[in-house]
Structure 1
Amino acid sequence: MHKGRLLWLLLPSLLLTGCWDKKDPEDRAFIMTLGVDTAAAGCRFTFAPANTGEGEARTYAAVSETLAGAVAQIDGQMSRKTDLGQMKTVIFSGEILEDSQKLERILQELERSQTVSEKVMLLATTDLAADCAEAVMEADSKTGTFLWDFYKNTAGEVAVTKGIDLDTFLTERMEQGGNGVLPRISVQEGKLELGGGVALTQERIYALSNAEERGYLFLLGEAEGALLEGVYEGEILPMEVGKNDVRYDFALEDTDILCRVTLPLEGTLQGGEGFFLSTEKREQIETVFEEGIREEIAHTLGIADRAKEDLFGILPRLYRQEPALTEGISGEALWQALRFEIRPELELKDMGRKR
């Protein structure tokens, strides 16, 4: 009787304690960047946490077949619980991207995770992902949001690379038969370098330079902010791309499929003697830049031509727009049948003014 009465007296105080197993922020290691490299026994996962305490934060790593297994290893060695709920970026090494089985397993685990956001940013490197994670810590050891901030605030303004999140990448890979393009990150003399891209197929990867990535952005209609240089009458003229749209049209021509890519563009000259130009000279300068853009896009498409695969998402457009042209034809045969015609249509909107 007395024991029952005591239990009822203690019950309210037990309920008032809240979630007894809830951890305070200082008891958690909030991972901001994850680097994934290949290893003999699975993958090497490098965790870069935010610095939530005194002193400098440091990276730590574990080798496991799965991300969950790596987290469990780390949790058994540290006093703080590893928390992936705030993770902003995942960096894949080239070796991981070329191993389709390992890559698929990790992507599926990230997709199914109850803690990892579907908006986590994905990046690729031809270096070690661990080195990139270390460089991220040095660039921003406090918040760990350096890469996130770059792609949110800067990349779209300068058009040197395209940010892509987990959800978008998974959708594009499904549409493109496992192919896709990720933004590239590298480490040069200990410093992070952001720009270019990595195109991947089921079997290998193709590193894209800044110019090749820019050609890809033109194909997407997302090259606004790109800075181009053209030579006119011996003078180098820089031009910033303003509005950039793109239109794809497909038509059967003999045994080929013509893919006409029309690019309505606006641009602004940034320097030189391009002030108060006559209509004739304006049109001549527009032609110079149009030819440069045409060559740049053709060079980017040449990478896919040598790979003999659609690296840049052209075929899904064909399937959607002209399904009758694709009936009974394999994707490989369709890609071989495609012939491209690139048509930039540039209009210089603001020639600038002297101050």
Structure 2
Amino acid sequence: MCEKKLLLLALLPSFFLTGCWDKKDPEDRAFIITLGADSTAAGCSFTFAPANIETGEAETYAAESETLAGAVAQVDTHTSRKTDLGQLKTVILGKELLEDGAKLDALLRELERSQTVSEKVMLLAADGSAAECVEAAMAEDSKTGLFLWDFYKNTASEVAVTKGMDLDTFLTERQEQGGCGVIPRITAKDGKLQLGGGMAVTPTKVYPLDHTEERGYLFLLGEAEGALLEGSYRGEVIPVRIGKSHVFYDFSLVGDSILCTVTLPLEGTLQGGRGNFLLDESDKELEEIFEAIIKEEVEHTLKIAMAAEEDLFGILPRLQRAMPQLAEEYSREVLWDAVVFEIYPDLEWKDMGRKR
């Protein structure tokens, strides 16, 4: 009798457990992998690209709303599957949205506050319509939708044509840099994706960066490993790959200006050439050729920021840490107007040809 009472007491809590009565099976959910956001007169147009867990090709769908939550709620009234952002990997931001600082901030904060979207979701900037880029991405990979994610995870960091950017990092940089930052660029052309380059974003405008300008930005970050440069030497085009990339900043007052000295310690490896010039006496000459190429690229990239009158590339936070008293005394605008740059690449060879 006592044993029966104990068994009844043990089983009693199970009658009050809800269990999984409200659990949705995977086939009942639309797991969104890629999201596109474009600016419209009424707010934003959102394009959702789900992973395809069934046979056939996955289809994108769109909704227009002032908020992402509103768009999700809209979509859920037109589909039998619950929209799930828990697996979201990539958010593509349209150019017109990037130019509207208020809308952009509102969307970024909504993504940041979301209980389901990861703070490590990858951001991309469309050089045009985000919806077109989402459609092109789905054409590349309609099964999993992970084409973009895989590119930035496996390829981008090794070829130095662009730099991955997640939500958390961009929000931090945007706060430190007065609303400015660089997002990797994506372009849809004839239904195909073009990856590489960047979009320098300010609160009111965007500045497209081509592959060379983006590479100059990567040199400024000390993250140009994998960059391939080509220089002319003795009538031959010589390719050099950057193996190691570092950067050091030094700030000093020179009259009414703030001199920013940027030193770039680099390691390069020759990737080709007939081999008749790979002699010790050629080392210095080749170094000077490629150092001049790097210096020109970095200076050209910095000119974009100077012409925009905005710290697009995160120089001022370095200055503020190096000279806090000066940073407290003057505004960002005054400081940026006073900065002048001197660029000093320092290239050394890792290997001057294969030894047999």
TM, length-normalised to structure 1: 0.95
CA-CA distance at 1:55 after TM superposition: 1.7
Distance 1:56 1:13 in 2: 43
The alignment status of 1:337 with 2:338, answered yes or no, reads yes
SS in 2 for 1:333: helix
Give the structure 1 partner of residue 51 of structure 2: 50
Matches of 1:157 and 1:13, distance apart in 2: 54
Say if 2:42 is the partner of 1:41. Answer: yes
- Contact 1:275–1:352 (CA under 8 A) maintained in structure 2: no
Equivalent residues of 1:28, 1:80 under 8 A apart: yes
1:278 is matched with which residue? 279
- Deviations along 1:178-215, one digit per CA (max 9) or x if unpaired, are 00000000112211111000001111000000000000
Counterpart secondary structure, 1:45: strand
Q: 1:4 aligns to what? A: none
Alignment check: 8 A CA contact 1:160 1:214 kept: yes
Q: What's 1:322 paired with? A: 323
Q: Secondary structure at the match of 1:178?
A: coil
Letter of the aligned partner of 1:143 in structure 2?
Answer: T
Asked if 1:136 is matched to 2:137, the reply is yes
- Contact kept? 1:275, 1:353, Cα under 8 Å: no
Change over 3 Å in CA distance of 1:276–1:236 after alignment to 2: closer
The residue that corresponds to 1:190 in the other structure is: 191
Q: Which moved more, 1:140-149 or 1:175-184?
A: 140-149
- Aligned residue in 1 for 2:5: none
Q: Which amino acid aligns with 2:121?
A: V
Deviation at 1:286, TM superposition (A): 0.6
The Cα shift of 1:274 comes to 4.1
Aligned counterparts of 1:192 and 1:67: Cα–Cα separation in 2: 25
Gaps of 5+ in 1: 1-7
Deviation of the 1:327 alpha carbon: 3.4
**Partner Cα separation in structure 2 for residue 275 and residue 128 of structure 1:** 50
Contact 2:278–2:353, Cα closer than 8 Å, also in 1: no
Deviations 1:90-125 (A, max 9, x none): 000110000011001000100000000000000001
More moved, 219-228 vs 344-353: 344-353
Shift of residue 280, structure 1, vs aligned partner: 2.6
Which position in structure 1 is the counterpart of 2:6?
none
Deviation at 1:276, TM superposition (A): 6.7
Aligned equivalents of 2:182, 2:276: Cα separation in 1? 39
In structure 2, how many angstroms separate the alpha carbons of the residues matched to 1:277 and 1:325?
Answer: 49
Structure 2: stretches of 5+ with no match in the other structure: 1-8
Does the CA-based 8 Å contact 1:275-1:351 persist in structure 2? no
Aligned pairs for 1:33-182 within 5 A: 33-182=34-183
Q: Describe the SS at the equivalent of 1:161.
A: coil
1:274/1:351 contact within 8 Å kept: no
Mapped pair 1:258 → 2:233: no
* 1:255 partner amino acid: D
Residues in 2 aligned to 1:17 and 1:110: alpha-carbon distance in whole angstroms: 31
Q: Distance in 1 between matches of 2:93 and 2:125?
A: 5
Aligned-pair identity (%): 69
Q: Distance in 2 between matches of 1:80 and 1:275?
A: 66
Judged with a 3 Å threshold, the aligned counterparts in structure 2 of structure 1 residues 61 and 294 are, in CA distance, closer, same or farther, namely same
Residue-by-residue CA offset, 1:135-156 (whole Å, 9 max, x unaligned): 1111111111111111110000
Q: 1:37 and 1:288 mapped to 2: Cα distance?
A: 44
Offset at residue 15 of structure 1 (A): 5.3
Is the Cα contact below 8 Å between 2:96 and 2:128 reproduced in 1? no
- Structure 1 moving runs of 4+ over 6 Å: 10-13
179-188 or 16-25, larger mean C-alpha shift: 16-25
2:54 is aligned with what amino acid? G
Question: What is the rounded CA distance, in whole Å, between the counterparts of 2:89 and 2:308 in structure 1?
Answer: 32
Following superposition, the deviation at residue 316 of structure 1 comes to: 0.2
2:44 and 2:270 map into 1 onto residues whose CA distance is: 48
Partner SS, residue 56 of structure 2: coil
For 1:17 and 1:108, how far apart are their aligned partners in 2? Answer: 34
